[in-house]
Amino acid sequence: MTLQRTFIMVKPDGVKRGLIGEIVKRFEQKGFQLLKAELMVIEKEKAELHYMEHKEKPFFGELVDFITSGPVFAMVWEGENIIQVSRLMIGSTSPESAAPGTIRGDFANSKQENIVHGSDSIVSAEREIANLFEPLLTRFSNQNLPY
């Protein structure tokens, strides 16, 4: 039993194409639990941190421009071995190897505009969640909300 949390994000192309519901449905169907979700436009600095492992790659600038080009639907999901399982559900980065039945295999035909992101390790998941979501206590600490 390895209960894990991961960061899943519908990218701007997925939001524009109306695929938020389809992607949430697949994770719910699999038995995973949604813990947080927010439609947000990512600031450039946060996008650069999110994809920092690709900083030296030739596509880095384009990738940051793409991911900040419109709203994304950022989510935290929890479940057994969710990091490995969610990557299987998402499918390979390249359209020529993303299998039918995976999200990218069914909906994407571009290496860059590939609908969805999922963390690739426990360390990345923690870093990505902390980068894009404020802790609940911090967010609500100065407000007189009834919860």
Q: Known catalytic residues?
A: 117
Residue 140 found at the interface with ligand RTP (CB under 6 A) = no
Residue 6 found at the interface with ligand RTP (CB under 6 A) = no
Report in angstroms how near the CB of residue 138 gets to ligand RTP at its nearest: 26
CB of 37 or CB of 51, closer to ligand RTP: 51
Please state the three-class secondary structure of 60-102 as a single string.
HHHHHHHHCCCCEEEEEEEEECHHHHHHHHHCCCCCCCCCECE
Buried/exposed 50-66: b ≥16 CB within 10 Å, e otherwise: bbeeeeeeeeeeebbeb
Report in angstroms how near the CB of residue 50 gets to ligand RTP at its nearest: 9
Interface residue with ligand RTP, options 111, 126, 127, 131 (CB under 6 A): 111
List the interface residues with ligand RTP, window 75-94 (CB under 6 A): 93
Interface residue with ligand RTP, options 4, 6, 86, 114 (CB under 6 A): 114
Residue 50 found at the interface with ligand RTP (CB under 6 A) = no
Residue 106 found at the interface with ligand RTP (CB under 6 A) = no
Q: What DSSP element (H or E) covers 139? A: helix 136-140
The span from the CA of 23 to the CA of 72, in Å, is 13
Given a contact cutoff of 8 angstroms between Cβ atoms, the answer to whether 43 and 132 are in contact is no
List the Cα angle 54/46/14 in 5-degree steps: 80
User: Six-digit token pair at 143?
Assistant: 């407000």
Binding residues for ATP: 11, 59, 87, 93, 104, 114
| Sites of contact with ligand RTP (CB under 6 A) | 54, 59, 63, 93, 111-112, 114, 117-118, 120
